[in-house]
Amino acid sequence: MANKGYTAKDIIEQCRKLDEAGIEYYFVYMTGLAGKDKGYKNAVNSAKVFSKVNPRFVHVDSLTLFEGTELYDMARAGTFIPAGEKERLEELKVFIKNLHIRTHLFANTVSNFYPVTAYLPRDKENILSELQYILDTVSEEEMLEYRHNLKSLG
């Protein structure tokens, strides 16, 4: 979906060069970007790549569509079907579960329904439990209302 112009192999190769040079870097992951019913696969595949390198930080945002953007127009036209709110939270959970590195994880911007700050792997089980609790106790409608009330991400 993002058409970044590079492959997972490219990412691993270039980040290993940064590791060898002692240069710190961070990654950004966006839940919901793959669209409806594609988050699980995206989370697993991304976590595999992230786990082969050593980002100091992993920052997670959740896709938020705003009027006047190409992706918003695609969603209105039906050519992009956004993931639901619970699906995004489940995607975040799967992503964290499949991350096997020592890193700081920040999913604490307003784009995320439930803010997460963690040091992995130390905090992994606690965060996964918290996310499951939110999935079990908060409705899709409540989460969607939160998303609809966002006017900006800044």
Answer whether residue 2 is part of any domain. Answer: no
Domain hosting 13: range is: 8-148
Supply the pLDDT for residue 148: 83
Supply the pLDDT for residue 2: 61
Answer whether residue 74 is part of any domain. Answer: yes
Answer whether residue 3 is part of any domain. Answer: no
Q: Measuring CA to CA, how many Å separate 67 from each of 71, 72, 76, 104, 153?
A: 9, 6, 10, 32, 13
Query: Is it the case that residue 136 has pLDDT exceeding 80?
Result: yes
Answer whether residue 1 is part of any domain. Answer: no
| Structure confidence by residue, pLDDT tens digits, 87-124 | 999 999 999 999 999 999 999 999 999 999 999 999 99
Answer whether residue 75 is part of any domain. Answer: yes
DSSP code per residue over 17-64: HHHHHT---EEEEEETTT-TT-HHHHHHHHHHHHTTS--SEEEEEE--
Number of domains in the chain: 1
8-22: average pLDDT: 96
| Structure confidence by residue, pLDDT tens digits, 41-91 | 999 999 999 999 999 999 999 998 888 999 999 999 999 999 999 999 999
Answer whether residue 133 is part of any domain. Answer: yes
